[in-house]
């Protein structure tokens, strides 16, 4: 690859083959340039993710097969059977937990909340490492292979993002100069690929990832996302055809409902009931999940014990869940033998269970037979399944392993929908009469609608409907499904944050509420109404005393720098840490010693100040890590100078031991009244500015779009106020000021770290 560059540099040499070489060099350069382009990146990403998804599915399916085989082989010996039924998932879950804990604790959980935060502009670099990738892939395969109610879609978004991060680094090495930066654009595509490969649902994947991760969305990414997700879903399905799992490319959970008359208008109230109920249930699921997490975080003796012995919690949870689902035990009343995928397939089937219950099972019933208990009604079984799986799903997703909640919630929704469908089929045993033809009710269709509505309510998205179409391969129920999903969303959005926002709140990640329904009045609130008018500022004329007072009296992270107190023209902003460091240095012992010993300027100060360069706002985020080592370096230099100074001190103190604390005091007092040395402080030259008549709506847009934490309000260059995220948040959600405060606290914590 590098030879290409030497060729290109030798273009101007007057050799006979120069033309040919020139051409060759050009071609190579062209290839290198093309390698840096994003379509190749997207193809590679799609291909890799398809391979990973398929392999993971394959491995976890084999694991579940082994689990089932073991259980069946031990038939007759119930205690041994129980032991096998319980031990197998415990081993896998504990292994997953241990592996993640040892390799990369960032791999724990869903990954979507973190991705959302990263796309909000916050750098969480440790989340996109190769280590996290390995931990997530291995851990997730083990989790899925255990048969616990866990999903793979959240982790898959995370895996795809890491994959994108690693790929961009690899491609950068290959292409040399043309660096493929991991931009938010590519991360959004990665999310789409993640969801797309997980369900073989490219359209739904793109939409879901948009809804879940973004506030503002560039339409060009939508195109890229489609390209990558389609390619990836295509490869994923081709792999399964190649492996003879299926005869051709079809949907993952294909349904076979009649198409000529999928439903009647008279069934719509039932669909609406499913939507509204799913809204409440979804909100309750989010609440329950958060309560479990919060309970585990409360400092009690039990939780302290569990934190110390990390593996006990997942092991106990798995033990309890496996015990409940043990088929010869309580499991027989809740179809406990069915693994997640089997649940979906059977809930979506074409039979009406209440009709075939206690009669000869029709051909093609398959695993659906599990729902038909000889003595217990189908309703009881479905209800028990729903209730048990509800808490199981809410609890199991809190285990410290890589796991998603989408699939478990999907199953819950399907079970609820099926329950309503079976009730409807009992209420109208002869179906619905229309135009002289009697159409029977399809409980499977209700299950699909329930699944879409429930996942929509929990994740606050409407694209779950699209995912459902792609998963089932049927679109005949589109309108009632959309209605149910929208109703579920309306209810759930009014009651609880989405599951991902809930996790963001619990984990105290940066958070700005969305502009939801009924926020149109925000157009009539302006920046001048919400801005803080008493702005603390600095000017080149400010003294160190003023600076010190400012630092001690406030906890602000940045301070505006104005031209002068009179003109108030905004020049830029300075970070708190910069000011603190400048202040500390100004009054430091080594500067004093050098000053008193050698004059005004000290060589030491030059060394330490040279480390700083003027860096663009955009680069700052990326360079934070680079800057930090410099800080350490400066600290080290500091301590070296200090020790020198201490030696020096001894020399001085021998002359005048008695009055040196007084002398220092006097020197410090004198120094404090000098104006601050503005040329040696790093300034952000273009802090974000608004004018007084900018609407709150536009402010929210800019804040969420550009990932701002604050903006200065200027009027013809003059600083007149400041608006922070806090003000915006407070005026958007009067009852949610807690979030903003939390956020600010977290942010400051992060800064100080």
Strands of 718-724's sheet in order across: 689-690, 710-715, 718-724
Min dist CB 541 to its own copies, Å, is: 15
Min dist CB 220 to its own copies, Å, is: 5
Report DSSP state, residue 477. Answer: T
Among 7, 25, 38, 115, binds its own copies (CB under 8 A): 38
Min dist CB 349 to its own copies, Å, is: 15
- Closer residue to its own copies, CB minimum distance, 277 or 464: 464
End-to-end, the C-alpha distance of the chain in Å comes to 42
Nearest to residue 443, comparing CAs of 466, 464, 467, 419?
A: 419
245 in contact with its own copies (CB under 8 A): no
Alpha-carbon span 294 to 313, nearest angstrom: 14
Cβ partners under 8 Å of residue 116, min gap 6? 212, 213, 500, 504, 509
721 in contact with its own copies (CB under 8 A): no
234 in contact with its own copies (CB under 8 A): yes
> Is-contact 516 493, C-beta < 8 A?
yes
261 in contact with its own copies (CB under 8 A): yes
Nearest to residue 108, comparing CAs of 313, 287, 282?
A: 313
Min dist CB 590 to its own copies, Å, is: 29
- Closer residue to its own copies, CB minimum distance, 256 or 300: 256
Report DSSP state, residue 181. Answer: -
Q: Is the torsion defined by CA of 315, 319, 322, 328 positive or negative?
A: positive
- Closer residue to its own copies, CB minimum distance, 44 or 103: 44
385 in contact with its own copies (CB under 8 A): no
Q: Give the orientation angle of helix 589-598 with respect to helix 617-655, to 10 degrees.
A: 60
> Is-contact 680 609, C-beta < 8 A?
yes
Q: Is the torsion defined by CA of 406, 483, 213, 53 positive or negative?
A: positive
- Closer residue to its own copies, CB minimum distance, 58 or 222: 222
Please give the residues from 104 up to 163 whose contact with its own copies meets the rule CB under 8 A: none
739 in contact with its own copies (CB under 8 A): no
- Closer residue to its own copies, CB minimum distance, 224 or 373: 224
Residues in the chain: 753
Ramachandran bin of 572, using left for φ above 0, alpha for ψ from -120 to 50, beta for the remaining angles? left
> Which stretch, 207-215, 363-371, 601-609, 624-632, contacts its own copies (CB under 8 A)?
207-215
Q: Which H or E run includes 438?
A: strand 437-439
716 in contact with its own copies (CB under 8 A): yes
Please give the residues from 419 up to 458 whose contact with its own copies meets the rule CB under 8 A: 434-435
> Which stretch, 138-146, 152-160, 236-244, 356-364, contacts its own copies (CB under 8 A)?
236-244
> Which stretch, 11-19, 513-521, 549-557, 596-604, contacts its own copies (CB under 8 A)?
513-521
Alpha-carbon span 182 to 176, nearest angstrom: 15
Among 53, 398, 489, 608, binds its own copies (CB under 8 A): 489
CA angle in degrees (0–180, nearest 5) for 744-746-751: 95
Burial profile 625-649: b = 16 or more Cβ within 10 angstroms, e = fewer: eebeeeeeebeeebeebbeebeebb
- Closer residue to its own copies, CB minimum distance, 382 or 451: 451
Ramachandran bin of 431, using left for φ above 0, alpha for ψ from -120 to 50, beta for the remaining angles? left
> Which stretch, 128-136, 551-559, 583-591, 709-717, contacts its own copies (CB under 8 A)?
709-717
Min dist CB 487 to its own copies, Å, is: 10
682 in contact with its own copies (CB under 8 A): no
Among 202, 205, 340, 560, binds its own copies (CB under 8 A): 202
> Which stretch, 70-78, 143-151, 530-538, 613-621, contacts its own copies (CB under 8 A)?
613-621
- Closer residue to its own copies, CB minimum distance, 59 or 239: 239
- Closer residue to its own copies, CB minimum distance, 473 or 635: 473
Min dist CB 454 to its own copies, Å, is: 17
Nearest to residue 266, comparing CAs of 466, 459, 441, 23?
A: 441
- Closer residue to its own copies, CB minimum distance, 276 or 322: 276
Alpha helices in 263-311 (DSSP H): 268-297, 301-308
Min dist CB 225 to its own copies, Å, is: 10
Among 94, 210, 414, 582, binds its own copies (CB under 8 A): 210
Please give the residues from 265 up to 284 whose contact with its own copies meets the rule CB under 8 A: 265
Furthest CA-CA distance within the chain: 116
Q: If 0-12 CB within 10 Å is exposed, 13-18 middle and 19+ buried, where does residue 664 land?
A: middle
263 in contact with its own copies (CB under 8 A): yes
670 in contact with its own copies (CB under 8 A): no
Nearest to residue 725, comparing CAs of 747, 746, 693, 703?
A: 703
Cβ partners under 8 Å of residue 14, min gap 6? none
Among 366, 686, 737, 741, binds its own copies (CB under 8 A): 686
Among 566, 618, 629, 656, binds its own copies (CB under 8 A): 618
- Closer residue to its own copies, CB minimum distance, 60 or 729: 729
Please give the residues from 560 up to 599 whose contact with its own copies meets the rule CB under 8 A: 563, 569-572
Please give the residues from 619 up to 658 whose contact with its own copies meets the rule CB under 8 A: 619
495 in contact with its own copies (CB under 8 A): no
Residue carrying structure tokens 């300034």: 683
Q: Reduced to 3 states, what is the DSSP secondary structure of residue 715?
A: strand
541 in contact with its own copies (CB under 8 A): no
500 in contact with its own copies (CB under 8 A): no
Residue carrying structure tokens 């579940």: 64
Please give the residues from 168 up to 197 whose contact with its own copies meets the rule CB under 8 A: 178-181, 183
Among 61, 101, 134, 264, binds its own copies (CB under 8 A): 264
Among 248, 552, 613, 657, binds its own copies (CB under 8 A): 248
Alpha-carbon span 628 to 636, nearest angstrom: 12
305 in contact with its own copies (CB under 8 A): no
Residues touching its own copies: how many (CB under 8 A)?
105
Min dist CB 418 to its own copies, Å, is: 21
Alpha-carbon span 629 to 481, nearest angstrom: 54
Min dist CB 462 to its own copies, Å, is: 5
- Closer residue to its own copies, CB minimum distance, 299 or 518: 518
Task: Kindly write down the DSSP assignment for every residue of 314-358, as one continuous string.
Answer: HHHHHHHHHHHH-TTTGGGGTTTT--HHHHHHHHT-S--HHHHTT
Alpha-carbon span 505 to 745, nearest angstrom: 12
Among 109, 111, 147, 262, binds its own copies (CB under 8 A): 262
Min dist CB 569 to its own copies, Å, is: 6
């Amino acid at each position: 690859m590098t030879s290409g560059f030497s060729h290109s540099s030798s273009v101007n040499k007057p050799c006979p083959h120069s033309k040919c070489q020139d051409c060759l060099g050009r071609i190579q350069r062209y290839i290198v340039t093309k390698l840096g382009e994003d379509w190749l990146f997207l193809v590679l990403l799609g291909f890799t993710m398809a391979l990973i998804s398929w392999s993971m599915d394959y491995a976890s399916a084999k694991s579940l097969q082994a689990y089932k085989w073991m259980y069946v082989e031990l038939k007759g010996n119930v205690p041994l059977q129980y032991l096998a039924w319980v031990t197998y998932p415990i081993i896998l879950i504990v292994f997953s937990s241990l592996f993640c804990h040892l390799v990369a604790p960032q791999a724990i959980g869903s990954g979507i909340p973190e991705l959302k935060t990263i796309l909000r502009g916050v750098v969480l670099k440790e989340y996109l490492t190769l280590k996290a990738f390995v931990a997530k892939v291995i851990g997730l395969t083990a989790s899925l292979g255990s048969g616990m109610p866990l999903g793979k879609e959240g982790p898959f978004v995370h895996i795809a993002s890491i994959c994108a991060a690693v790929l961009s680094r690899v491609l950068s090495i290959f292409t040399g100069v043309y660096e493929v930066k991991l931009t938010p654009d590519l991360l959004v595509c990665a999310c789409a690929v993640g969801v797309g490969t997980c369900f073989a649902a490219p359209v739904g994947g793109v939409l879901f990832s948009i809804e879940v991760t973004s506030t503002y969305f560039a339409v060009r990414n939508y195109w890229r996302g489609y390209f990558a997700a389609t390619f990836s879903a295509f490869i994923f399905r081709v792999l399964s055809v190649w492996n003879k799992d299926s005869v051709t490319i079809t949907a993952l959970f294909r349904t076979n409902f009649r198409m000529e008359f999928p439903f009647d208008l008279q069934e719509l109230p039932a669909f609406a009931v499913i939507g509204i109920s799913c809204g409440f249930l979804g909100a309750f699921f989010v609440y329950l999940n958060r309560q479990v997490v919060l309970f585990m975080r409360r400092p009690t003796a039990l939780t302290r014990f569990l934190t110390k012995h990390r593996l006990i919690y997942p092991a106990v949870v798995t033990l309890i869940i496996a015990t409940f689902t043990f088929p010869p035990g309580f499991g027989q009343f809740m179809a406990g033998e069915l693994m997640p995928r089997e649940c979906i397939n059977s809930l979506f089937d074409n039979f009406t269970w209440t009709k075939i219950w206690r009669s000869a099972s029709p051909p093609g019933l398959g695993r659906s037979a599990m729902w038909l208990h000889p003595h217990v009604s189908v309703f009881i079984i479905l209800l028990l399944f729903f209730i048990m799986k509800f808490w199981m799903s809410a609890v199991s997703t809190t285990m410290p392993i890589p796991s998603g909640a989408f699939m478990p919630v999907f199953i819950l929704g399907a079970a609820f929908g099926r329950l309503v469908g079976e009730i409807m089929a009992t209420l109208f045993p002869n179906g619905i009469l229309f135009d002289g033809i009697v159409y029977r009710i399809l409980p499977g269709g209700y299950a699909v609608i329930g699944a879409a509505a429930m996942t929509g309510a929990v994740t606050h998205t409407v694209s779950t409907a699209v995912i459902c179409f792609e998963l089932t391969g049927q679109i005949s129920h589109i309108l009632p499904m959309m209605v149910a999903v929208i109703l579920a969303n309306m209810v759930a959005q009014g009651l609880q944050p989405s599951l991902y926002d809930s996790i963001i709140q619990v984990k105290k990640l940066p958070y700005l509420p969305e502009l939801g329904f009924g926020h149109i009045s925000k157009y009539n609130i302006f920046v001048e109404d919400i801005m803080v008018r008493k702005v603390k500022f600095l000017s080149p004329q400010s003294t160190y005393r003023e600076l010190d007072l400012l630092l001690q009296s406030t906890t602000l992270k940045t301070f505006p720098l104005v031209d002068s107190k009179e003109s108030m023209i905004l020049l830029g902003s300075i970070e708190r840490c910069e000011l603190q460091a400048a202040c500390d240095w100004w009054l430091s012992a080594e500067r004093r010693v050098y000053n008193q010993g050698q004059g005004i300027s000290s060589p030491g100060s030059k060394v330490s100040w040279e480390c700083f360069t003027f860096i663009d706002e955009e680069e700052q985020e990326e360079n934070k890590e680079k800057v930090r080592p410099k800080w350490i370096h400066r600290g080290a230099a500091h301590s070296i100078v200090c020790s020198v100074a201490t030696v020096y001190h001894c020399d001085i103190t021998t002359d005048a031991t008695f009055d040196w604390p007084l002398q220092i005091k006097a020197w410090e007092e004198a120094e404090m009244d000098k104006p601050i040395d503005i040329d040696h402080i790093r300034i952000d030259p273009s802090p974000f500015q608004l004018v007084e008549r900018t609407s709150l709506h536009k402010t929210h847009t800019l804040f969420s779009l550009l990932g701002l934490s604050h903006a200065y309000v200027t009027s013809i260059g003059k600083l007149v106020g400041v608006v922070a995220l806090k003000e915006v948040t407070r005026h958007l959600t009067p009852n949610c000021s807690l979030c903003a405060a939390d956020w600010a606290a977290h942010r400051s914590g992060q800064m100080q770290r």
